[in-house]
């Protein structure tokens, strides 16, 4: 009796240790090196295409990172953002997707992979590996990408609008959007740091410059000097021009984003909102005052968390032959 109790106690402890020490096994079906036997060169092939692409077009890093993020928030990380619709009713046709770019790069990666190992590597995994490589290449953090995702067959324009966190979001709506995907408040503030690279289109923030509450006013949470600067980039009614999200270093993956947000120079309302919650605010201040002491490590962890959202594994879904259409 006593012996069996001790045994089950030890067993529970062992399970606990295994679970804690191997958090990468938490998502059943995903693992680092899923293609080690079936397509050993897979990650090297992706990396080669991405390094070549970024040497030619460094500004593609941000939209390619965003593509994985958009994919994961709608039906999980299942490659659904890549599907075309003959009637323009797919996720990529939704308003939040209008500024996604780089679909051709994903097609190039898929083409190279199909040549090496036909029908093996999913489009959903390509997005996850590409997201890591576009961060690591411009001097950002590196992490091991879990693979083994399979591709979904459904892509629905209305689901994109319902699930993708909005640049106009407030802190409660942002926290809710992340929580609905099983992601934490920390994941929210850490993944927002992706705004260290890329641009924002005027349409996503000019309300803060010209007509915040419909009275021709400005957003009081935005630094007035910065408003003057931004007005130079975006005239009233201009939705197509853009501003760098991290001016001066928008091509370099670094922790400057938090310094900007702390100085009330975050471009979107969703950036400024990070100062409205004690936990996210503390994180912003910490990174801003310590040159991003933990940002790279945290970003790697949160990317792995996000890449586990709603994945299809095992016999679910399919391995698409072309990323833009179901088999
Ligand atoms: C799918 O759509 C993308 C743009 O969204 C386009 O560039 C591509 O040519 C389309 N692919 C096919 C096979 O129709
Ligand atoms: C797309 O998603 C919306 C919202 O969840 C749903 O009402 C609609 O039926 C879906 N459309 C299709 C074609 O499945
Ligand atoms: C936050 O945004 C949501 C949805 O956009 C809205 O319903 C809510 O009232 C807002 N909350 C605050 C505190 O402004
Ligand atoms: C500001 O917004 C209000 C309410 O939506 C609108 O009536 C007004 O025309 C807008 N002003 C400008 C300058 O766009
Ligand atoms: C890349 C892409 O497919 N963008 C689409 C986003 O949605 C608009 C309209 O909703 C389309 O015109 C774009 O082609």
pLDDT digits (tens, 9 = 90+) for 8-40: 444 444 444 444 444 444 467 999 999 999 999
| The pairing of beta strand 199-201 with beta strand 242-244 | antiparallel
Query: Is 74 marked as a binding-site residue?
Result: yes
d(CA 303, CA 220): 32
Tokens of 307: 């890449």
Domains (range + CATH), the chain: 31-164 (1.10.520.10), 171-303 (1.10.420.10)
pLDDT tens digits for range 145-179: 999 999 999 999 999 989 999 999 999 999 999 99
CB 196 within 8 A of CB 288: no
**CB neighbour list of residue 109: distance below 8 Å, 6 or more residues apart:** 45, 46, 49, 50, 126, 130
Tokens of 47: 């990396």
Q: How far is CA 301 from CA 7, 144, 281, 296, in A?
A: 34, 10, 19, 9
Q: Ligand 2, from 156, 159, 161, 164: best to mutate by most atoms within 8 Å of Cβ?
A: 156
Query: Is 86 marked as a binding-site residue?
Result: no
Triad 145, 186, 310: Cα angle to 5°: 50
Tokens of 290: 């310590």
The rounded Å distance from CA 247 to ligand 4 centre is 29
The rounded Å distance from CA 172 to ligand 3 centre is 7
Q: Is the CB of 166 under 6 A from ligand 3?
A: no
Q: With residue 146 as reference, give the H or E element that holds it.
A: strand 146-147
Based on the residue annotation, tell me whether 291 is a catalytic residue of this protein: no
Q: Ligand 5, from 98, 107, 156, 157: best to mutate by most atoms within 8 Å of Cβ?
A: 98
Provide block-wise average pLDDT over 10 residues at a time, the chain (327 residues).
45 44 58 97 98 96 96 97 93 80 97 98 98 96 98 95 94 98 98 95 95 96 97 93 90 94 97 98 98 96 98 97 97
H-only helix segments in 268-324: 269-272, 278-289, 295-306
């Amino acid at each position: 009796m006593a012996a069996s109790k001790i045994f089950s106690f030890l067993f529970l402890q062992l399970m606990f240790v295994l679970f804690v020490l191997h958090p990468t096994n938490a998502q059943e079906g995903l693992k680092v090196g899923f293609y080690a036997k079936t397509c050993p060169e897979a990650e090297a092939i992706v990396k080669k295409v991405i390094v070549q692409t970024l040497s030619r077009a460094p500004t593609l890093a941000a939209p390619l990172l965003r593509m994985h993020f958009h994919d994961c928030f709608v039906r999980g990380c299942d490659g659904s953002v890549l599907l075309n619709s003959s009637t323009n009713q797919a996720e990529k046709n939704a308003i939040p997707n209008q500024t996604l770019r780089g679909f051709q790069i994903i097609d190039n990666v898929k083409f190279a992979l199909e040549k090496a190992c036909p029908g093996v590597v999913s489009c959903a995994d390509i997005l996850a590996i590409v997201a890591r490589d576009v961060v690591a290449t411009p001097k950002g953090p590196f992490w091991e990408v879990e693979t083994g995702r399979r591709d979904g067959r459904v892509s629905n324009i209305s689901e994109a609008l319902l699930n993708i966190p909005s640049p106009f979001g407030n802190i409660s709506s942002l926290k809710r959007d992340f929580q609905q995907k099983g992601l934490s408040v920390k994941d929210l503030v850490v993944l927002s740091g992706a705004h260290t690279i890329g641009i924002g289109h005027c349409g996503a923030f000019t309300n803060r410059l010209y007509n915040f509450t419909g009275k021709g006013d400005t957003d009081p949470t935005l630094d007035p000097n910065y408003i003057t600067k931004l007005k130079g980039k975006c005239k009233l009614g201009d939705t197509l021009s853009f501003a760098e999200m991290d001016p001066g270093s928008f091509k370099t993956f670094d922790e400057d984003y938090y310094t900007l947000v702390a100085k009330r120079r975050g471009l979107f309302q969703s950036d400024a909102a990070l100062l409205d919650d004690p936990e996210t605010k503390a994180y912003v201040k910490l990174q801003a005052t310590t040159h991003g002491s933990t940002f790279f490590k945290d970003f790697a962890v949160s990317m792995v968390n996000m890449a586990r959202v709603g994945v299809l594994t095992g016999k679910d879904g399919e391995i698409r032959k072309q990323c833009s259409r179901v088999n």
